Structure 1
Amino acid sequence: MRDEGTGQDGKPVSRARSGTIGRRFPRTGTEPVTARSPLRLRLLLAAVFLPLLVAGCALFAVGATDAGPGDSPGRGPLILLSAVCGVLALTALLDLLVILRRLRRERGTAR
């Protein structure tokens, strides 16, 4: 079976045509044929925000453990902020992995 990121001759297909074969969902006709995701910008944003979100998660978690009964903000909001940062960090990590896989497929170094 042929990889959908490669053409008939096994060479990588450009992003402009990477979804024409093996499309998961049929085109509705409202999106442009040559629409492309700005992978380099997504890579930059994910790489910048992943460490910031991990640091935020850790700082809010430490703040929640040090919060006393009369402190403002209380323990609950800090735990919530820590959880939100953790979920966003996980999302950024998954996006980073998807972007790297797509860039690797475009370069033709995928398995």
Structure 2
Amino acid sequence: MRRPRTGTEPVTARSPLRLRLILASAALVVFTAATVRLAMGAHSAGPHDSPSATVLLVLAVVCGVLALAAILDLVVLRRRMRSQRTTGA
């Protein structure tokens, strides 16, 4: 559902969906790799290592959540691109 125009934006303004698709794909790759690397580092960290295994595990979880956000964004983008193709907008 589109909102009515309220400002001075052009009538033909469109969201750069392809750029968002590229950025979300890159973010997915980076955050997935970071999640795996940080989890492996947490697994091999000793009791006196710095940063500790807990810190590495927390960072791995944060990167995992960001990877999930990238997946969600890719799903939304795919749906939006598909709807633009079918409506011809």
Question: Match of 2:20?
Answer: 42
The amino acid that maps onto 1:107 is R
Question: Match of 1:83?
Answer: 61
Is there any run of 5+ residues in structure 2 with no aligned partner, and where? Answer: none
Higher-Rg member (1/2): 1
Equivalents in 2 of 1:94, 1:47: separation in Å?
Answer: 11
**CA spacing shift, 1:107–1:73, aligned 2, 3 Å:** same
User: Higher helix proportion, which one?
Assistant: 2
The amino acid that maps onto 1:105 is S
Which TM-score applies when normalising by structure 1? Answer: 0.67
* Root mean square deviation of aligned Cα: 2.1
The amino acid that maps onto 1:78 is L
Is there any run of 5+ residues in structure 1 with no aligned partner, and where? Answer: 5-18
Deviation for aligned residue 1:33:
6.6
- Tell me, yes or no, if structure 1 residue 51 matches structure 2 residue 57: no
Runs in 1 of length 4+ with deviation above 3 angstroms? 29-36
- Tell me, yes or no, if structure 1 residue 74 matches structure 2 residue 52: yes
Which TM-score applies when normalising by structure 2? Answer: 0.82
The amino acid that maps onto 2:23 is L
